[in-house]
Amino acid sequence: GNSVTQMEGPVTLSEEAFLTINCTYTATGYPSLFWYVQYPGEGLQLLLKATKADDKGSNKGFEATYRKETTSFHLEKGSVQVSDSAVYFCALGSGGSNYKLTFGKGTLLTVNP
Amino acid sequence: GAGVSQSPSNKVTEKGKDVELRCDPISGHTALYWYRQSLGQGLEFLIYFQGNSAPDKSGLPSDRFSAERTGGSVSTLTIQRTQQEDSAVYLCASSLDGPGQYFGPGTRLTVT
């Protein structure tokens, strides 16, 4: 079946540090890939997505590239801010219209000033 | 515009009672989804609606769980004879056709 593996946290960084959160997946067919973010006390928000191989999703300074050859979708940001502190979830979408999301377990990021 | 809303935000119930959780999707979104978020299991898919039909109910954990959607809009998730292992945050999401779902704030269910 489908699965998503992302690096376990917690991850603690200083402001302006470089961020990478690794995500790899196992899936049949051609899934879409997503990163969701959950800020403290808030609901899940779609951060970025990529729908086919070699697509790059980007938003708010975050980027991730859909790598079919390595089945990966690593999240990166060049310079993190305190406001980026949150839990980040990698997910893949399967089924028609990629409706069914399979999530990784989440990575807690804390950014210190 | 208004996002996905869910009610109640918190629900505490006694073991063995039935509960109903409500979801109001974003207006015009044809697809609606229920997920469950718990410490032990992470985020799990429960059920998917396209319009009022549920082509995929594969994530419902037992026959105590059911869901319906009416008018292509509001959805209700019902849990009968609640058990302590049902304690979790129940999340609803909606979308138009295509990838990218928008989530509500969730209902935190505690079964005592």
- For range A53-58, the mean pLDDT: 96
pLDDT at A57: 97
> Are the beta carbons of B91 and A93 separated by less than 8 Å?
no
* Chain A CB contacts of B50 below 8 Å: 99
Q: Given a cut of 60, is residue B16 above it in pLDDT?
A: yes
Which DSSP symbol is given to B9? S
- For range B49-65, the mean pLDDT: 93
Distance of alpha carbon B6 from alpha carbon B3, whole angstroms: 10
- For range A101-108, the mean pLDDT: 94
> Are the beta carbons of B101 and A106 separated by less than 8 Å?
no
> Are the beta carbons of A45 and B56 separated by less than 8 Å?
no
> Confidence class of residue A97 from pLDDT cuts 50, 70 and 90?
low
pLDDT at B98: 67
Single-letter amino acid code for the residue at B39 = L
Q: Which residues of B touch A (CB under 8 A)?
A: 31, 33, 35, 42-43, 45, 48, 50, 56, 91, 93, 95, 97-106
> Are the beta carbons of A43 and B105 separated by less than 8 Å?
yes
Render pLDDT for B65-94 as a digit per residue (tens, 0 to 9). Answer: 999 999 989 999 999 999 999 999 999 999
CB pairs under 8 A between A and B: 52
pLDDT at A95: 76
In terms of CA atoms, which chain A residue is nearest residue B56?
Answer: A100
Distance of alpha carbon B64 from alpha carbon B45, whole angstroms: 16
Mean pLDDT over all residues of chain B?
93
pLDDT at A98: 67
Single-letter amino acid code for the residue at B31 = A
Cβ neighbours of residue B59 closer than 8 Å, sequence gap 6 or more: B34, B35, B44, B45, B46, B47
Which position has the higher pLDDT, A8 or A65? A65
To which residue do tokens 């928000």 refer?
A45
> Confidence class of residue A28 from pLDDT cuts 50, 70 and 90?
confident
In chain A, % of residues over pLDDT 90: 82
